[in-house]
């Protein structure tokens, strides 16, 4: 997702190019991560720096051309790393504007669940679950959608969006 406020990054590791809508990887189903080794930690660090530099508040691995189930989020409440994330419960709804680093310059209103319960693994493979509401819940749904090849414009409430 696109940042709503500017953020400054520090200790840059590697900044990836963010792929734009029309790139086929964005429409692929991302693969489950099975190896929790150093490379995964490096990918998460690089994704985080890429997101902060953009600036954005969320980034999914397919957005940098890696079709794996890896997501980073930071809506200003701390860094969240999610490997193989899944929404296991959801309730209520919220309508709000969304943007995406892969769809520059476009904002659309999207209806999302208001609260979600997510199961994921950390960079070491440790499973954890947590609940989120409001904007964090929105960011989670947006990023987890990326892993299924879904972009927010596919879910826009009103005006459609022509890809390519």
Point out the catalytic residue in the list 107, 143, 159, 163.
Answer: 143
Separation CA 135–CA 133 (nearest Å): 7
Residue 1 beta carbon to Ni ion: minimum distance, rounded to whole angstroms? 5
Which is closer to Ni ion, CB of 100 or CB of 132? 100
Residue 124 beta carbon to Ni ion: minimum distance, rounded to whole angstroms? 26
Q: Which stretch binds Ni ion (CB under 5 A): 12-20, 25-33, 41-49, 96-104?
A: 96-104
Which is closer to Ni ion, CB of 27 or CB of 36? 27
Which is closer to Ni ion, CB of 51 or CB of 100? 100
The Cβ-side half-sphere exposure at 155, using a 13 Å CA radius, reads 21
| Cis peptide bond upstream of 55, omega within 30 | yes
Contacting residue, 18, 51, 72, 100, with Ni ion by CB under 5 A: 100
Q: Does the annotation mark 5 as catalytic?
A: no
Q: Which residues of 102-139 are buried (b: 16+ CB within 10 A; e: fewer)?
A: bbeebebebebbbbbbbebbbbeeeeeeeebeebbbbb
Cα maximum dimension of the chain: 43
Residue 148 beta carbon to Ni ion: minimum distance, rounded to whole angstroms? 12
* Residue ranges binding Ni ion (CB under 5 A): 100
Q: Which residues are catalytic?
A: 143
């Amino acid at each position: 997702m696109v940042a709503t406020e500017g953020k400054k990054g520090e200790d840059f590791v590697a900044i990836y190019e963010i792929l734009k809508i029309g790139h086929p990887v964005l429409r692929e189903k991302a693969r489950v991560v099975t190896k929790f080794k150093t490379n995964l930690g490096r990918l998460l660090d690089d994704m985080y720096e890429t997101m902060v530099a953009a600036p954005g508040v969320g980034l999914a691995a397919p957005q940098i051309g890696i079709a794996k189930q890896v997501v980073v989020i930071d809506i200003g409440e701390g860094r969240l790393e999610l490997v193989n994330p899944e929404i296991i419960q959801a309730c209520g709804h919220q309508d709000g504007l969304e943007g995406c680093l892969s769809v520059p310059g476009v904002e659309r209103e999207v209806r999302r669940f208001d609260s979600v319960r997510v199961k994921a693994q950390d960079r070491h493979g440790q499973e954890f679950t947590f609940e989120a509401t409001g904007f964090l819940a929105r960011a989670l749904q947006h990023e987890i959608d990326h892993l299924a090849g879904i972009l927010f414009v596919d879910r826009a409430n009103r005006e459609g969006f022509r890809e390519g």
